[in-house]
Amino acid sequence: MTNILLTDWDTPFGIAPFDQIGDADFAPAFDAALAEDMAEVRAIADNPEPPTFANTVEALEASGAALDQVLGVFYNLAGADSTDARQALQRDFSPRLAEHASDITANRALFDRIRAVWEARETLDLTDEQQRVLMLLHRRFVRAGAALDGDAAARMKEITARLATLGTEFTQNLLRDEADWAMSLAEEDLAGLPGFVVDAARAAGAERGADGPVVTLSRSLIVPFLQFSPRRDLRETAWRAWTARGANGGETDNRAITAEVLALRHERAQLLGYDSFADFKLETEMAGTPGAVRDLLMQVWEPARRQAEADAWVMRQMMQADGLNDDAQPWDWRYYAEKRRKQDHDLDEAELKPYLQLDRMIAAMFNCAERLFGITARPLDVPLYHPDARAWEILKDGQHLAVFIGDYFARGSKRSGAWCSAFRTQAKFPKTRTPIVVNVCNFAKPPAGQPALLSYDDARTLFHEFGHALHQMLSDVTYGMVSGTSVARDFVELPSQLYEHWLEVPEVLREFATHADTGEAMPPAMIDKVMQAANFDMGFQTVEYVASALVDLAFHDGTPPADPMARQSEVLSEIGLPQAITMRHATPHFAHVFAGDGYSAGYYSYMWSEVMDADAFAAFEEKGDAFDPDLAARLEEHVLSAGGSRDPAELYTAFRGRMPGVEALLKGRGLAA
């Protein structure tokens, strides 16, 4: 019987036939696809014809289609709807994939062919995109150790495989800690909580088979609990559990993993001739060097810390008024910040939230994309991997562009956070393929029959992830290697963070922020309050983020620490982190950095991109029209459709006419002097 994962799918737009795929299909499909890919690669390496762009670079680009199809399904499901079987498969697949990649880059005959094409590049009459693809491929092989010999090459292979195993263990430990913990609430513990928090706690209890409401470690539940619960003891219990993920001792403790990961990354960098992993990693990013990253972060750190310390002083006065003769603690900050927001801006999230219905915000998200880029969304009725997921066909100028899948609600089988990924990326070679993109979020699921309501932060997350999706769906390149979000890490967040700005356009809120019960539009006075409070608590938000970015940089810049937790404490002491604020992601649950290589030495990239996104949206503000068609067309041409086909600084300059400074970011965050 033919394995469904290895066939051509006769489904609408080639969407995976999820209703026909079982966990038992993955291992044999993986084995077959892995072997097929290796056979294709060896045929390229052993080709007796002289190396050319077509028979080497394009041949590699065309190889591995079956493996891409299998892994596109598997890894999306492993993150969004994990099972014990999928976790076991992931532990098996990850080191084997790492070994597979190492075998390819260690194939000297293959590398010699790539190098020959690279050295002859000026004589080959290549397009700009082909030149870029060749450069990236050659660089990728060199940075993976293709030029190493003997013991160094063997050690590089061992390091790569071990890092893959450790990243999987880190992720699965975190998922187990998040799934295992819950705090039961008695009826009296619900006092002071708005209805939407009570509903979410009851729904979480029902999902877990508990006798009553519970608080879990899902961000969509624990954050509003910390915002609204007047019970300081319960806030402390919840906060300590949330921040202890990955550091609870026993089998799921990630602290030893982080130390080993940092040591292996440093060894890898030194094998390749770099002083540190940060030097190695940042060489290919826009920032270029650890010094440039640190300069940016410190330009933002000082004004943010001053603002946070001023806010902490106000918070202490509020606590004294409540009879608490104590400094604010981390489990107090969100509670008193919420009280202060209501006091200073007359803005209560419990009153705001009914206007931010998930379905209406999805409609707003699509409407902004239609006004900017001429795309429309049409619901698709197709089998998906989970009942909560839904799909749309995305059209541009009436023609099929992509399939978009939204998977929005938190559940125990889904890892925390929010992300965008693709079941299939856009390309025109070796044949045209349109993207199938998924946004995964962790919003609180409402009780049956009730609309899902978002916090303002949730709504921003929705727009953020759809910005990534637009980058994938509007991609218009030839080669998959440079498609969509295949760009420098500190450029990839530009489209996502930029798209958040359209949520804050007053006319968007006027049209789509309608009350869940009455259907009435958000009152103009409330919209004004939302706009005025846009930078509320920005000292806290900036400090917790920059602290995490500085710790990440310190871990990777220089000799790796034997005790990462001690080094974390040293860095936070050196920069003067206010005692009532902690890192956004403490080391044992810093998945951005330790679940894989993506954001390692690169967590700063959100802020690097924010410098550009603040400046980019300022261009629309200067025009006096958030939907200016000429600017939108330039944004699509030079950023969203170009993928990684050109240098990111070149792309941004083509859109804006220049590179930005940090001033627009500080102004946008309300931190300018």
**Residue found by looking up tokens 């292996």 in the block:** 264
Query: Could you say which of 58, 393, 465, 544 is catalytic?
Result: 465
Residue 168's alpha-carbon distances to 24, 218, 294, 563, in angstroms, are 20, 20, 29, 21
Q: Which residues pair with 357 in a beta bridge?
A: 453
Q: Which residues pair with 427 in a beta bridge?
A: 433
Catalytic (active site) residue 188: no
Q: Which residues pair with 399 in a beta bridge?
A: 396
CB neighbours of 218 closer than 8 A, spacing ≥ 6? 178, 204, 410, 416, 442, 444
Q: Which two tokens stand for residue 474?
A: 């509007």
For residues 499, 503, 507, 510, the Cα torsion angle rounded to the nearest 10 degrees is 160
Within a 10 A sphere around the Cβ of 398, how many other Cβ atoms?
8
DSSP per position, 386-454: STT-EEEEEEETTEEEEEEEEEEE--TTS-SS-EEEEEE--B-SSS-B--EEEEEEEEPPPPTTS--B-
Closest CA to 22 of 52, 37, 1: 1
CB neighbours of 588 closer than 8 A, spacing ≥ 6? 244, 245, 246, 247, 253, 254, 255, 258, 565
In angstroms, the CA 593 to CA 177 distance is 18
CA angle 311, 660, 641 (to 5 degrees): 110
Helix 255-271 to helix 150-180 angle (10° resolution) is 160
In angstroms, the CA 445 to CA 411 distance is 9
CA angle 278, 279, 282 (to 5 degrees): 75
Q: Where are the alpha helices (DSSP H) in 560-604?
A: 564-575, 591-594
CB of 336 within 8 A of CB of 439? no
Closest CA to 425 of 72, 166, 100, 150: 72
- N residues, the chain: 673
Residue 658's alpha-carbon distances to 295, 629, 652, 662, in angstroms, are 20, 20, 7, 13
Report strand pairing: 436-443 vs 399-409. parallel
C-alpha 96 chain-centroid distance: 25
3-state class of 583 per DSSP?
Answer: coil
| Residues forming the active site | 465
